């Protein structure tokens, strides 16, 4: 699978998943244009992407395409915390 095809599949998959899990009373619906790829890697026939949506729900998504099996694996994560940790410059 080429990179463009993989990215389109990632965006459709994340979009579908997010829309399935939205509260229907919020009257919100995502499109693939609301999905952002924050990281992408392709090695031989395999691809991996990390994606995020325009929603402020703290969710992010990891999708991995296994080119040998023609399967894609989907993981959805919730970010609970983001903090800066100062590292001593002398610790190098």
- pLDDT of 92 > 70? The answer is no
Give the rounded percent of residues in the chain with a pLDDT score beyond 90: 78
Report the alpha-carbon distance of residue 67 to residue 44 in Å, rounded: 8
pTM: 0.84
pLDDT tens by residue, 14-44? 999 999 999 888 888 999 999 999 999 999 9
The pLDDT tens digits of the residues spanning 74-86 come to 999 998 888 999 9
Strand partners, 60: 77
């Amino acid at each position: 699978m080429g990179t463009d095809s993989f990215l389109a599949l990632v965006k459709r998959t994340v979009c579908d998943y997010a829309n399935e899990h939205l509260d229907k009373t919020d009257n919100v619906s995502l499109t693939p244009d609301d999905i952002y790829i924050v990281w992408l890697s392709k090695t031989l026939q395999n691809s991996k992407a990390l994606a995020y949506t325009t929603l402020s729900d703290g969710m992010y998504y990891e999708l991995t395409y296994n080119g040998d099996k023609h399967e894609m694996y989907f993981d959805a994560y919730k970010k609970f915390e983001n903090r800066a940790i100062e590292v001593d410059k002398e610790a190098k």
